Structure 1
């Protein structure tokens, strides 16, 4: 069963060059943790806000930014909200042309995390995550930023760019917990690509888990959302 996603409300925090503010779901009581969640290609910050609002604990603030409008190569150069250009969906492609955009989005995500320091929320109490392209940015950020986050959620995604030459900090066991989920019937980001990504992550993260959803395509389900809820409460309890 799929879930419907809809807008809740937005704030005055500006998103890159689009001047579209992210959706902000404020904590219902004392704010002690934050989730920053990035949408997939062609979506906006409002796309996942409704679903995430149904699992949000009272102490958690959620930030759902919107990516800039970029021409996307695999879609014939059409402009759409994108965290970076995608030149190919071939899991064996080096995709070096994506690297500059990936690095820019990683920097953007880290800046949002650092901005939460204004509210006395350290990176260890911030969970980063995303779906598809947004999840790719979140995984890359957890792997290369050198920060320890409260957790990282990667849904139906992969490690972007030239994954054989990613500059990973000299940290043998990154402590950020990773929840990676993928459907075995994904028609966009293949399940085999998700598995390939998981094997890379297992080499660097001491707490990594890949959850496979039978029959699930490139989508979200209520079962997966419930698993995300449990991951949030485990990584950043009240």
Structure 2
């Protein structure tokens, strides 16, 4: 993998979380190979749904679903609504692992990370976020490798809804992978001060961010969005690099207006 190299420390952290720290994978190279093998299969993460571009591709959006979802549920929306406005964009819709959550360990649910709730505050499991972010970086690197084989280079975006938005924001603030833009819909800010290896303010200012929320969100209230904006600005974001939208009468969902705004945001970056 030419574009992304997992450090030895990251390999061991992922290996520990995936429970592959055994005698069989006692060396970092063996553990790294096993991680790539798992990321290439559906043993941990679920099926990947793709919406191919209608014309010669110039961009890719990796979009992560919310809690309890799967990537395929977003296919209709992207194929029918967004692909018509972005005919040269490929959409990759991954699926989170099945996991038992702390709030209800009696059943498994698709989730990018476990979390705890205290009042209005949701605190994600940072090790879960780290592994999910590594997986998304893996998918992005594979896309870039495929493009180089065809002697072309596309713009790469990452985004998501709800949990997927939180994962995308985590990657934005911690990840060195060169995404060209981030889309965060109806998500929230983890405690970024707890992160290790936070990205520099200068790097974050270079990455455009589209962040949106509904003013009648019945799962994550608008105050969560306001707190996220505060944290982002404290970490170096300015209004010049960030497009923030609040949609009237929108609950924990998406809307035609929001989809249109996403298309406009992506087009602006592609035409820059």
- Using structure 1 for the length normalisation, give the TM-score: 0.84
* Counterpart residue number, 2:253: 219
* Counterpart residue number, 1:210: 244
* Counterpart residue number, 1:85: 114
Distance 1:89 1:216, change over 3 A: farther
The CA deviation string for residues 189-220 of structure 1, in whole angstroms up to 9 with x for no partner, is 12111111112222323401221112211111
Distance 1:195 1:123 in 2: 36
Going by fraction, where is helix more abundant, 1 or 2? 2
Distance 1:45 1:130 in 2: 10
The CA deviation string for residues 52-86 of structure 1, in whole angstroms up to 9 with x for no partner, is 11212221110000111001223454211110112
Match of 1:156 among 174, 180, 186: 186
* Counterpart residue number, 1:67: 96
C-alpha displacement at 1:90, in angstroms? 3.9
**SS class of match (2:246):** strand
* Counterpart residue number, 1:199: 230
Segments of structure 2 that go 5 or more residues without pairing to the other structure are: 1-39
C-alpha displacement at 1:91, in angstroms? 4.1
The CA deviation string for residues 93-120 of structure 1, in whole angstroms up to 9 with x for no partner, is 6x3x611101111111111111111233
User: Which of the pair has more CA radius of gyration?
Assistant: 2
Match of 2:127 among 100, 119, 124: 100
Task: Tell whether 2:218 aligns with 1:184.
Answer: no
Aligned length in residues: 222
Distance 2:62 2:118 in 1: 25
Distance 1:16 1:125, change over 3 A: farther
Distance 1:110 1:123 in 2: 16
* Counterpart residue number, 1:120: 147
C-alpha displacement at 1:163, in angstroms? 2.6
Task: Tell whether 2:169 aligns with 1:139.
Answer: yes
C-alpha displacement at 1:47, in angstroms? 1.5
| Equivalent residues of 1:185, 1:214 under 8 A apart | yes
C-alpha displacement at 1:16, in angstroms? 5.6
| Equivalent residues of 1:156, 1:218 under 8 A apart | yes
* Counterpart residue number, 1:46: 72
| Equivalent residues of 1:136, 1:158 under 8 A apart | yes
More moved, 228-237 vs 132-141: 228-237
| Equivalent residues of 1:15, 1:65 under 8 A apart | no
Match of 2:266 among 218, 226, 232: 232
Distance 1:199 1:42, change over 3 A: same
**SS class of match (2:220):** coil
Distance 1:109 1:71, change over 3 A: same
**SS class of match (1:49):** helix
* Counterpart residue number, 1:9: none
Task: Tell whether 2:199 aligns with 1:169.
Answer: yes
Segments of structure 1 that go 5 or more residues without pairing to the other structure are: 1-12
**Greater RCO, 1 or 2 (C-alpha within 8 Å, sep 6+):** 1
